[in-house]
Structure 1
């Protein structure tokens, strides 16, 4: 029981990071059918943003970097959508190959700019130490990551439910053709969706600096798991992404603790395959309006 409690904050923080990454993929993949393998490099961009700001603001780099990384990664995603991806809508396999090539280019660019070795971002002093709870200590840094994920989920929910632009996004996800006929500028919605999704990846990159070092391949360690969260949660479903992220994050954490990293991945993939055999559409299904 003590080992279970000690591993719980690790699993929750991994789940929170997966959720931050998957939130963006949920809407870009669910709305536009784009398999964006460069999403991991937007995570890397957010992490390096915190590293660069460290030279300016010192240990306050992490909180300062959150809005800056959102804008930087969001701008990168917006440029990618405008310059390349918009020409490949409706061709998911082509978008996979395209964005995989872009990810390799961005990784090499990061090596040229920052070097191949990993770098470290120093956490603020108020995130040192931990909260004693049930005989274990939960690090403040991991609690901060969890709170950050909860805050982003609430912000996305409010955006979708309370704003006119969010309702337009939902309309495009449900039926793109009907939304266009109704007067919605689907191209502009796609741009904004890609900006927000990529910006959330940048925030996830800042959160990852509290867990470990930053390197050019940082995003590749999480991108596959994030896609699994999207598939298991259901395309375009916010609630499904939340449940799937915490389920997979905790499963991966405890499986790795009791076995090893390689066997833990095998266990996670086996559980996902079994789950998709039962519910191939994921936890939640997006109801759509068909043109008849």
Structure 2
């Protein structure tokens, strides 16, 4: 294997890692911190992608002179809309299903089917794509044999920024202190004066907003369709469980590890076989360490 091929495979692994990490960070907040199995998380990612698509359409027809800024605006719009959708979802449905994981799984699975059909009715069954902004066109050429798309480099940087922001929110802010207090001991947090219902709603909204950012980033490397969310939701759950529930560090490292493994296996195997082998290795690792690689102990 030449050095150029090795570098390309490492970068392909990083590209897969970015999508998995952005999706998994949101799911880690919702599933890991709140114990909610949200099967509609993939559809919220698709919603973020569609919001970015709509933003591009608005800029093309209304603000064509500022089309170069549409993607940054689309990121904000995607986060805001999916976070709002998550807040409403928590208030209307999820808050009645806490401590009932199977019920939340079935309810959100039904919601995912409803959202998929809504996407088909509103946007059509055919996948849509967004234009690449001028400052993300082209590629970086570290060597003569390697061309790394600028859009993918931007998404890698975006992933690192989002991960750092989530860390600062959870471990360096008063709101993060409230979230961790409710996670570790809800009764004591309530006794200390923390509004646990408000914390639940905002935390769920943040997790859904992160899915929106993942969907927005996905538009730069793939088209968006009604079934886009279903293509990533299972892999995302695997990342969160493999890394260790309630461990953001584990989620991040798990996404990196799985992305690199799948990219490496695809050198000698088909895509489906590579994914199957990765899943087999994950199952084996969970058999040895069922709580995940970086599981944390918490009290109910």
Name the TM-score, length of structure 2 as normaliser: 0.93
Q: Does structure 1 residue 189 correspond to structure 2 residue 191? A: no
Q: Which residue of 2 aligns with 1:115?
A: 124
> Which residue, 256, 273, 289 being the options, matches 1:246?
256
Could you list the runs of 4 or more consecutive aligned residues of structure 1 that deviate by over 3 angstroms after TM superposition? none
- Secondary structure at the aligned position of 1:258 is classed as coil
| Distance across 2 between alignment mates of 1:257 and 1:53 | 37
- Secondary structure at the aligned position of 1:138 is classed as strand
Q: Which residue of 2 aligns with 1:226?
A: 236
Shift of 1:175: 2.0
Name the TM-score, length of structure 1 as normaliser: 0.95
Residue deviations 1:88-114 (CA, integer Å, cap 9, x gap):
111101111100000000000000001
- Secondary structure at the aligned position of 2:147 is classed as strand
- Secondary structure at the aligned position of 1:19 is classed as helix
Residues 231 and 282, structure 1, Cα contact 8 Å, conserved in 2: yes
Once the two structures are superposed, the pairs formed by residues 79-228 of structure 1 within 5 Å of their partners are 79-134=88-143, 135-228=145-238
Unmatched segments (≥5 aa) in structure 2: 61-66
Moved more, 44-53 or 246-255: 246-255
Q: Does structure 1 residue 33 correspond to structure 2 residue 42? A: no
Give the number of equivalent residue pairs: 290
Residues 53 and 65, structure 1, Cα contact 8 Å, conserved in 2: yes
| Distance across 2 between alignment mates of 1:185 and 1:287 | 23
Unmatched segments (≥5 aa) in structure 1: none
Residue deviations 1:113-168 (CA, integer Å, cap 9, x gap):
01000111111111111112254121111111100000001111111122111111
Shift of 1:274: 0.9
Give me the CA root mean square deviation.
1.4
